[in-house]
């Protein structure tokens, strides 16, 4: 694409690496994630206006710690190091990084000592999000401290003439006050970028890529009816038309009335080539006696692929499998650039994919977040009742049942979950909440119903707000609403006598229980 400024994000394994890239794109500057050990020749070929060094799970003084090519600091390209990236800058330029006596995690008040560069036009104190066990003990020669917290004297450093900055906190997460402006300052004040990257350009580029990849072959698309797969299907359909066949798999792990809703929406509204496969027995048989969440996810991913491959075998020209995979799925399952990130959990469409797969993948949203996909959906004319749907995990209710997945437990959870969503919609809160759902717990407790002792199951209610799924806060639902949900579940769903509310944020918890 002509006249496109680009900023590279070097991935050192942070769970927030893609979030950095996304924040850059939000400022209408194109960003690309690359491996931390990218060669100088590759960097020069892309002609970036700036380079960001991501955070990471390791310490710079660890044996085998990932280090970039030191020549990047001689390219005269502006550099911003975030957390581990700031410590790398310190380490490489001769400063000292040591383990801190008091690990700083969560919100911390940041005091700006030099309102220039990345802190241009910002207030003197901000709320920042910290996540580190190391700290900069000695600033390198040529650098100066430009911000501090009460426990971190060098929370941000800079070599202003060389345009090299390091921040110990994470400006990319929503918890950091004015974090978007810190990143924008780096882009516009330091790098001299122009805001020329827009969503319509991204859509056109993706359509062009899909056409070039598929050519005269055919694509089978795994359609769940959720936001991701729905928008991906519309995008792929715009690129290749009738060469796309959508398959909806009823795996028995869906919400109440999900199958009929999906079939009606896509056959009637989108007029797509859609076939529905009843594979409930296949999935439930394979999940029998399985309790480990990682094993559940991998079994479901493997069985999905087998169903799709069975469907595609009827046509010799089907060579590709389309999926609505998002970056949070990828970043929690594997390191997308070969960086040293830790696996949080395998997603059915990433870590659960079999090693030997006959179909090649088409995943147009693999480097995007949910809200970006919603923007694309709006641009493509996808109805709002689909775009605004709360996320539903690919493994479905299987990862909302802690313990073994059985037909009976699925039916119980389906009914409880239906009550949760119904009451939240009635309260007018559905569109304000990222996800709200029920979880069936693997415990029973004593209760009293109709003057009789009961010993039945417990349901946990989960409701969170988020922008991207990478971080999330629990929602303080009104007490009267919680009371209504609890009463309905206990009175209307057989086998449940206790309801609890999950008040955990991400991190440290994940949104889903498994």
Peptide bond into 146 cis (omega under 30): no
Question: So which residues are the catalytic ones?
Answer: 83, 170, 172
pLDDT of amino acid 90:
96
SS3 294: helix
pLDDT of amino acid 242:
87
Q: List all residues 6 or more positions away from 15 whose beta carbon is below 8 Å from its beta carbon.
A: 331, 332, 341, 342, 344, 470
Whether 53 and 507 have beta carbons less than 8 Å apart is answered as no
SS3 164: strand
Element housing 19 (H / E): helix 17-26
pLDDT of amino acid 102:
65
Q: List all residues 6 or more positions away from 259 whose beta carbon is below 8 Å from its beta carbon.
A: 248, 250, 276
pLDDT of amino acid 369:
79
pLDDT of amino acid 336:
42
pLDDT of amino acid 350:
45
Q: What is the DSSP string of 388-438?
A: TPPP--TTGGGGGBSS---HHHHHHHHHHHHHHHHHHHHTT-GGG-SEEEE
pTM (predicted TM-score): 0.66
DSSP lists the bridge partners of residue 8 as 32, 51
Could you report how far apart the first and last alpha carbons of the chain are, in Å?
41
Peptide bond into 508 cis (omega under 30): yes
**How many residues does the structure list for the chain?**
514
Query: How many Cβ atoms are within 10 Å of 107's Cβ, its own excluded?
Result: 14
Whether 214 and 320 have beta carbons less than 8 Å apart is answered as yes
Element housing 387 (H / E): helix 384-387
Pairing of strands 435-449, 452-465: antiparallel
DSSP lists the bridge partners of residue 165 as 80, 158
Low-confidence ranges of the chain (pLDDT < 70): 1-3, 101-104, 132, 312-316, 328, 330-357
Helices (H), 117-244: 179-184, 199-214, 227-240
pLDDT of amino acid 132:
67
SS3 379: helix
Residue of 177, 112, 172 whose CA lies nearest to 148? 112
Rounded Cα–Cα distance for residues 231 and 209 (Å)? 16
pLDDT of amino acid 328:
67
pLDDT of amino acid 291:
95
Strands (E), 285-390: 318-322, 360-362
Rounded Cα–Cα distance for residues 397 and 253 (Å)? 5
């Amino acid at each position: 694409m002509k006249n496109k400024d680009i900023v590279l994000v070097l991935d050192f394994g942070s769970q927030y690496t893609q979030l950095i890239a996304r924040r850059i794109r939000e400022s209408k500057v194109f960003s690309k994630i690359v491996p931390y050990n990218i060669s100088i020749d590759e960097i020069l070929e892309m002609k970036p206006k700036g380079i960001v060094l991501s955070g990471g799970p390791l310490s710079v003084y660890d044996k085998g710690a990932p280090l970039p090519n030191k020549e990047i600091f001689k390219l005269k390209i502006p550099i911003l190091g975030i957390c581990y990236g700031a410590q790398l800058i310190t380490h490489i330029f001769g400063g000292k990084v040591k383990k801190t006596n008091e690990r700083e995690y969560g919100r911390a008040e940041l005091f700006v000592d030099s309102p220039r560069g990345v802190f241009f036009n910002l207030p003197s104190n901000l709320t920042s999000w910290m996540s580190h066990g190391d700290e900069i003990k000695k600033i390198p020669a040529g650098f100066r401290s430009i911000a501090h917290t009460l426990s971190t004297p060098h929370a941000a450093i800079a070599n202003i003439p060389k345009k090299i900055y390091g921040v110990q906190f994470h400006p990319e997460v929503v918890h950091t006050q004015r974090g978007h402006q810190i990143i924008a300052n780096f882009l516009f004040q330091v790098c001299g970028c122009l805001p020329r990257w827009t969503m319509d350009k991204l859509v056109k580029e993706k359509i062009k890529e899909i056409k070039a990849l598929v050519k005269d072959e055919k694509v089978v698309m795994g359609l769940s009816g959720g936001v991701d797969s729905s928008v991906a299907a519309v995008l792929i359909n715009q690129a290749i038309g009738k060469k796309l066949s959508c398959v909806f798999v009823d795996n028995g792990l869906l919400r109440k009335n999900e199958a009929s809703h999906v079939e009606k929406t896509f056959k009637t509204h989108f007029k797509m080539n859609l076939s529905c496969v009843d594979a409930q027995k296949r999935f439930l048989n394979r999940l029998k006696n399985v309790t480990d969440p990682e094993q559940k996810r991998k079994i479901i991913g493997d069985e999905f692929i087998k169903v799709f491959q069975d469907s595609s075998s009827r046509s010799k020209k089907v060579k590709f499998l389309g999926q609505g995979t998002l970056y949070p799925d990828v970043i929690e399952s594997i390191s997308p650039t070969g960086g040293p990130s830790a696996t949080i959990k395998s997603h059915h469409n990433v870590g659960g994919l079999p090693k030997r797969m006959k179909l090649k993948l088409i995943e147009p949203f693999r480097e995007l977040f949910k809200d970006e996909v919603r923007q694309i959906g709006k641009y493509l004319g996808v109805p709002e009742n689909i775009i605004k749907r709360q996320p539903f995990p690919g493994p479905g209710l299987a990862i909302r049942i802690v313990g073994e997945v059985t037909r009976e437990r699925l039916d119980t959870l389906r009914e409880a979950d239906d009550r949760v969503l119904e009451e939240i919609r009635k309260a007018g809160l559905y569109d304000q909440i990222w996800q709200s759902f029920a979880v069936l717990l693997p415990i029973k407790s004593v209760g009293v119903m109709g003057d009789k002792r009961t010993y039945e199951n417990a349901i946990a209610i989960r409701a969170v707000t988020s922008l991207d799924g990478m971080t999330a806060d629990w929602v303080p639902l009104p007490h009267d609403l919680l009371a209504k949900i609890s009463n309905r579940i206990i009175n209307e769903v057989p086998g449940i006598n206790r309801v609890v509310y999950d008040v955990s944020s991400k991190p440290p918890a994940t949104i889903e229980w498994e």
